A and B are shown apart, each in its own frame.
Chain A
Amino acid sequence: MTSTLTPPRKRSALTKGQLPKFAPLVVVAVALVLAAAILALIGFNALGWGILSAILFTIGLVTWSGLVEGSRKAKDKLATCLVVGAFLVALLPLVSVIWTVLVNGIPGLLTPGFLTTSMNGVTGTTDNRSVEEGTRVLGGVYHALLGTIQITVLATVISVPVGLLTAIYLVEYGNDRPLARAITFFVDVMTGIPSIVAGLFAAAFFFAIVGPGTKTGAVAAVALSVLMIPVVVRSSEEMLKIVPNELREASYALGVRKWRTIVRVVIPTAISGIASGVTLAIARVIGETAPILVTAGFATSINNNVFSGWMASLPTFIYTQILNPTSPSNPDPSNQRAWGAALVLIILVMLLNLGARLIARAFAPKAGR
C-alpha cells in the first residue's frame, strides 16, 4: 500500500492512504441530512430518523473507506459500526421501558393515597364512577407493598443463613470433596430453575404437607428462597474465596478455633461483598411474579400474617390489574394503578441495586496494601 522508502515530507508516509480525521463527521452530517430528506417524503419520526441515519452512515463510511483504504480497513470500519450499533440497539428497550413506566406511572404514583390505601372496597363500580365523574382514582398499593416486603423479608431470612452456610461449607470445609463438587454443580443448575417451576415446587410441597390449596405468603417466600439461595451461595462463595489464606493462618496461629476464625475474621473481611451480593439477590427476587402468582394467590386487602391467607404483592398486583381490570368496561383506572405500582417496583429495585454498590464501597476493608 504505502512505500516506506520515501522519507516523510509534508504528510507522513504512515498516514498516507487513510481517510482524513474529519471523515466520520462529514459522513454523519451527510447521513443526517439525507435521512431527514427521505423521511420528509414519507412522514417524519425521530426513531426512524436515527435508524436510517445510522444505516446511511455505515454504508457511506464503509464505501468511502473501501475506495480509499482498501477492503481490509473497510471491513474493520463495518465491524466497528455494527458493534456500536448493537450497543445502541440494546439501549433502545432500556430507554423505552423506563420512559414508558415513568410517563404512565407518575400519574398513578402522585394520586393522593396511592401508597397508603389498599384495594379493599374498590370495585368496578368505584372505578366506573371515578371515570364518569372525572374524580381521582381510588385504591392503591399499600397492601401489595406490605405483602412484597413481608414475603421478601421472610425469603431473605430463609435464604441468607442457608446460602451463607453453604458457601462457608464449600470454601472452608469442602476441600474439593465429591460432595462439595456436587453442591457446586447443583447450585449452578438451581440458578437455571424457571421461576414458575420454583413456585410450583413450593405449591406442590405445601399441598402435600399442609393440604391442597394452601396459598399463603410463607409458601411464596419458600418459592422465592429456591430462587434466591443459589444467588446468595454463588456471590458469597466468590467473596469468601478472595479472603487471603494468610488471614486464616494468622488466626489459627493465635490459637483461634476454625469456626471462630470464620465468624470473626473471614466473614468480617468479606462482609461488604456478601452484603452487596445479598442485596442484589433481594433485588432479583423482589420483582418475581410467577412464583407468587401460584403460591400466594391474590388479595385486595391488607394481610399482616404471612402464614395464613392470600397475600398481595407488587408484581402480582401489576399483573392482575392489567390482565383482569377491576372494572372490565373502564380499564383505565386499573392501568393507572398498575403503572404506578410498576414505577414503585422499579424504584425499589433500582434502590436495592444502588444500595448494593454503596454497601460494597462502605464496608470495604480500609487502606489495603
Chain B
Amino acid sequence: MTTNSLTTSQGAGRAGDKVFSGAALAAGCLILAVLFGVALFLVVQALPALVAQPEQIQGGQGFFAYIWPIVIGTLIAAIIALVIATPISIGVALFISHFAPRQLASGLGYVIDLLAAIPSVVYGAWGAAFLAKEISPAYGWLANNLGWIPIFQGPASATGKTILTAGIVLSVMVLPIITSLSREIFLQTPKLHEEAALALGATRWEMIKMAVLPFARPGIISAVMLGLGRALGETMAVALVLSSGVLTASLIQSGNQTIAAEIALNFPEAGGLKVNTLIAAGLVLFVITLAVNMIARWIITRHKEFSGAN
C-alpha cells in the first residue's frame, strides 16, 4: 500500500483542539481548586485562633466560649426566617403555578424574582430605618400580653432592632429562593396525576393535596434547606438591623448576634489574633452552610432518581 494521503493534515488545527480542551479542563479544575482553597486558607488562617490560649481570645474563655453564642444566634435568626418564609413561599409558589391565570403566571414569577434582585444592604437599610420603627409597637404589645412566653419576655426593645426584626428581614430575602424552587417542582407534577384527581371530582385544593404536594414534598424540603443556607450566611440584614449583644432568649429585646454579622462588624477594624478568630468563625459558618447545602443537594438528586423527572 502506498502512503496514506489522509494522514496529511493541518497540524495547527490539531494543536488548537488540544489547547482548547485543555483550557476547558483547566477551568473546571480551577473551580475545584478554588473550593479546596477556600477551605484550606480558612483553616490555615483560623488555626492560630483555634490553638491560642483561652485568655487571648475575645471574652477570655477560649474560642469555643466565643463562638457558641453566635452559632446559636445564627440558628435563631435563620429559624425565624424559615418559619415565616416557608408557608408564604409555598403559598406564593402554588399561586403562581396552579391558581393564577396562565397569562399572568410568568409575569408574577418575575415580580417575585425582583425580591431576589434587591441588594441585601438595601434590605438591611430598610429593616433598620423602616421596619424596626414600624414594628416596635407590636413588640410592646407582645411583651405586655404574651410576656409569660420566654421568647416574648419584656421589656421590649424601644427601637425594634431585635433578632425577630432581623429574622423577618431575612425571611423576605429567602422567600424568593424557596418560592422559585418550589414553583419549579410544582410545575413538574405529572399532569396525569393532576387530571386523575380532577376526574375523580376533586376540588382544586383536594387535587393539590392528593397530587401536587406529595410529589413535591422532597423538592420543598430541599428548597427550604437552600433557603436555610442563605439565611445562615446572610450578613447585611443582620448587621444593620440587629442591635447585638449577649445571647438572649427573648426575641423582642436587643441582644444576640450572628456569625456573619459578627465578622462584618468587627473585621474591618480587627488586627492580630482577632483577625484569626473572625476567620475561624467564618470557617465554622462555612462548615455549617456546606453541610446544609450538601444535604439539600443530596435530597434533590435522590428525588430525581425517584421521580424519573429529567
User: A residues within 8 Å of B by Cβ?
Assistant: 72-73, 75-76, 78-80, 82-87, 89-91, 93-94, 96-97, 100-101, 104, 161-166, 168-170, 172-174, 179-180, 182-183, 185-198, 200-201, 203-205, 207-208, 212-213, 226, 229-230, 233, 257-260, 262-263, 283, 286-290, 293-294, 297-298, 315, 318-319, 322-323, 335, 338-339, 342, 345-346, 349-350, 353
Closest A-B pairs by Cβ, 9 of them? A194-B233, A287-B119, A86-B91, A165-B27, A192-B293, A259-B20, A169-B24, A79-B205, A76-B203
Decide yes or no: A293 and B267 within 8 Å by CB, A97-B118, A195-B235, A201-B38 being known contacts.
yes
A90 with B87: CB separation less than 8 A: no
User: B282 contacts which chain A residues (CB < 8 A)?
Assistant: 196-197, 200
User: B residues within 8 Å of A by Cβ?
Assistant: 13-14, 16-17, 19-21, 23-32, 34-35, 37-38, 41-42, 44-45, 87-92, 94-96, 99-100, 108, 111-112, 114-115, 117-126, 128-131, 172, 175, 179, 203-206, 208, 226, 229-230, 232-236, 239-240, 260, 263-264, 267-268, 271, 275, 278-279, 282, 285-286, 289-290, 292-294, 296-297
State A322–B239 Cα separation when bound (angstroms). Answer: 11
Decide yes or no: A187 and B31 within 8 Å by CB, A75-B203, A173-B25, A200-B42 being known contacts.
yes
Which residue in B111, B114, B124, B293 is a CB contact (below 8 Å) of A319?
B124
The prevalent SS among residues of A at the interface is helix
Could you list 15 A-B pairs, sorted by A, with CB under 8 Å? A72-B206, A84-B99, A93-B126, A97-B123, A165-B28, A166-B31, A179-B28, A192-B293, A193-B290, A194-B233, A196-B264, A201-B37, A289-B119, A322-B128, A322-B240
B263 with A294: CB separation less than 8 A: yes
A258 with B21: CB separation less than 8 A: yes
User: B114 contacts which chain A residues (CB < 8 A)?
Assistant: 94, 350, 353
Which residue in A86, A197, A200, A342 is a CB contact (below 8 Å) of B95?
A86
B109 to chain A: closest CB distance in Å? 11
State A53–B191 Cα separation when bound (angstroms). Answer: 36
State A218–B126 Cα separation when bound (angstroms). Answer: 29
B286 with A194: CB separation less than 8 A: yes
A83 with B91: CB separation less than 8 A: yes
State A83–B186 Cα separation when bound (angstroms). Answer: 14
B17 with A258: CB separation less than 8 A: yes
Decide yes or no: A193 and B38 within 8 Å by CB, A86-B87, A258-B17 being known contacts.
yes
User: B175 contacts which chain A residues (CB < 8 A)?
Assistant: 90
The prevalent SS among residues of B at the interface is helix
- Scoring A197, A293, A350 by chain B CB atoms within 10 A of each residue's CB, the highest score goes to A197
Which residue in A93, A204, A260, A346 is a CB contact (below 8 Å) of B279?
A204
B88 with A89: CB separation less than 8 A: yes
Decide yes or no: A194 and B260 within 8 Å by CB, A294-B268, A297-B268 being known contacts.
yes
State A200–B112 Cα separation when bound (angstroms). Answer: 30
B204 with A76: CB separation less than 8 A: yes
User: A91 contacts which chain B residues (CB < 8 A)?
Assistant: 111
User: A197 contacts which chain B residues (CB < 8 A)?
Assistant: 38, 42, 233, 282, 285-286, 289
